[in-house]
Amino acid sequence: MITSGKVTSEENLRLIRDSLLKMEKNVNVDKVLASYLDEMTELRRLTQRKLNSIAKPKTL
């Protein structure tokens, strides 16, 4: 949804990023969650890149 542009608001992107960070911190307790660590990390990085692009002023 992030890559397709369906989630674009800064507030929603921050919520996704923060939720992923919390889940990444809990992988040592949840083995099923741990199996998705790489995917969560990539999604968090993508979300942060989108946030950075929104926050940057549009100057030439």
Mean pLDDT for the stretch of residues 38-50: 96
Residue 5, in any domain of the structure: no
Residue type, 6: K
Q: For residue 60, how many C-alpha atoms fall within 13 Å in the half-sphere facing its CB?
A: 0
When divided into structural domains, the chain yields a total of: 1
Question: Is the pLDDT confidence value at 60 over 60?
Answer: no
Residue 24, in any domain of the structure: yes
pLDDT at 55: 83
Instruction: Look up residue 11 and give its two tokens.
Output: 């507030």
Residue 15, in any domain of the structure: yes
Residue linked to tokens 């099923």: 32
Residue 49, in any domain of the structure: yes
Query: What is the span of the domain harbouring residue 47?
Result: 10-53
Return the C-alpha torsion angle 39, 40, 43, 44, nearest 10: -150
Residue 59, in any domain of the structure: no
Q: Look up the pTM and report it.
A: 0.82
Question: Is the pLDDT confidence value at 51 over 80?
Answer: yes
Residue 44, in any domain of the structure: yes
Instruction: Look up residue 48 and give its two tokens.
Output: 């942060």
